[in-house]
């Protein structure tokens, strides 16, 4: 299978003047097409920093990053924006929806910034996907009118709207109760199974890892270990 992501000794150091914070200290990982991978690690271990690098929201201090076959570690700002727009779908812990846009408008936001985007087609697809995640009657609601779980579902549909090569979810259940969190994991899992969407899910909840193909353990900005889950459990 094709490699969607390959990093070589990826490092990110925050220079805070007197102190330097080495958030990611040399991470080499490979994610194959169609994989559902979880990244586990305690708080402050560098998970979000790594996700920001993988999501092209930030640039590495050193190391190489190949996304979908191209080296994106040296791209300039505008090119990175383009990569974010077309190749990456990001799901945040805090949903990050625009409060003044409706559900549908939020989902279509990435299409607006996509030069090749077709709003008409995208709108039909958005409605279809929103309906599939149970938001068929919520197209014109504002985020404030939705529950946390519903907001995260909107965010997932937004992440998928430009048909990215990978979905990166940084603690997507972190702001949700266990039951709602499981529903979100179920959606992410079914997207992987039914549509073959490649996904990385960051979590510090060990119970989530059993639903994924592979778990990468990270601590202090380094990969601590990796375990393959031959038989991921169905989410019920």
Partner 1 sequence: MKIWRIFKMALSSLKINKMRTFLSTLGVVVGVSSLILITSVGYGAQYSILSSIQSLGSDVVIVIPGKSANLFKSTVGSNAMRKPLTYDDAKFLKRKMPYAKIAPEISVNTTAKYGRTEVTTTVVGTNADAFVVTNYEVAEGRILTDRDIVGYRDVCVLGKKVADELFPLGNAVGNYILLHGNKFLVVGTLKEKGAIGQIDMDDLVFVPITTLQSQLRTKNVQIIYAKPPQGMSIDVLGARIKSFLIARHGMENFTLNSFEQYLQLAKQVTDIFTIALAAIGSIALLVGGIGIMNIMLASVAERTREIGIRKAVGAKNRDILIQFLLESALISTSGGIIGILLGIFGSVLVPQDILPTHITTSAVIIGFTVSFLIGVFFGVYPASKASKLNPVEALRYE
Interacting residues toward Mg ion by CB under 5 A: 48
If contact means CB under 5 to 8 A according to the sort of partner, which of partner 1, Mg ion, ligand ADP, none does residue 46 touch?
A: ligand ADP
Calpha distance 29→8 (Å, rounded): 7
Comparing CB distances to ligand ADP, the nearer of 53 and 146 is: 53
Alpha helices for 8-140 (secondary structure H): 47-54, 77-87, 103-112, 119-132
Burial class (CB in 10 A: 0-12, 13-18, 19+), 232: middle
> Smallest distance, Å, CB 168 to ligand ADP?
12
**Rule CB under 8 A: is residue 112 a binding residue for partner 1?**
yes
Task: Kindly compute the dihedral angle of the four CA atoms of residues 126, 132, 135, 137, in this order, to the nearest 10 degrees.
Answer: 90
Stretch that binds partner 1, among 30-38, 61-69, 113-121, 200-208 (CB under 8 A): 113-121
Stretch that binds ligand ADP, among 36-44, 75-83, 149-157, 228-236 (CB under 6 A): 36-44
Phi, psi of 57 (to 5 degrees): -80, -20
Calpha distance 127→117 (Å, rounded): 16
Q: How far is CA 122 from CA 155, 157, 195, in A?
A: 15, 11, 17
Comparing CB distances to ligand ADP, the nearer of 41 and 172 is: 41
> Smallest distance, Å, CB 133 to ligand ADP?
26
Stretch that binds ligand ADP, among 44-52, 75-83, 119-127, 143-151 (CB under 6 A): 44-52
The first and second tokens of residue 59, run together, are 């640039």
| Residues found near ligand ADP in the complex (CB under 6 A) | 14, 16, 21, 23, 41, 43-49
The residues of the shown chain that bind partner 1, judged by CB under 8 A, are: 52, 55, 57-58, 77-78, 81-82, 84-86, 90, 92, 96-98, 100, 109-110, 112-115, 158, 162
């Amino acid at each position: 299978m094709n490699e969607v992501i390959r990093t070589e000794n990826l490092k990110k150091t925050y220079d805070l003047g007197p102190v330097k914070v080495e958030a990611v200290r040399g991470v080499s990982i490979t994610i194959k097409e169609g994989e559902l991978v979880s990244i586990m690690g305690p708080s402050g271990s560098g998970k979000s920093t790594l996700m920001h690098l993988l999501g092209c929201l930030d640039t590495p201090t050193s190391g190489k990053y190949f996304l979908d076959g191209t080296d994106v570690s040296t791209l300039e700002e505008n090119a990175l924006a383009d990569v974010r727009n077309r190749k990456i779908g990001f799901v945040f812990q805090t949903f990050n929806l625009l409060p003044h846009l409706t559900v549908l408008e939020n989902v279509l936001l990435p299409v607006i910034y996509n030069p090749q985007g077709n709003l008409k087609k995208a709108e039909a697809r958005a409605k279809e996907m929103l309906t599939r995640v149970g938001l068929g009657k919520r197209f014109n609601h504002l985020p404030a009118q939705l529950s946390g779980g519903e907001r995260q579902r909107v965010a997932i549909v937004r992440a998928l709207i430009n048909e990215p090569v990978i979905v990166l979810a940084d603690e997507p259940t972190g702001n949700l109760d266990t039951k709602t969190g499981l529903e979100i994991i179920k959606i992410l899992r079914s997207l992987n199974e039914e549509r073959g969407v490649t996904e990385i899910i960051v979590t510090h909840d060990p119970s989530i890892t059993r639903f994924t193909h592979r778990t990468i353990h990270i601590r202090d900005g380094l990969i601590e270990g990796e375990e393959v889950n031959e038989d991921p459990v169905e989410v019920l």
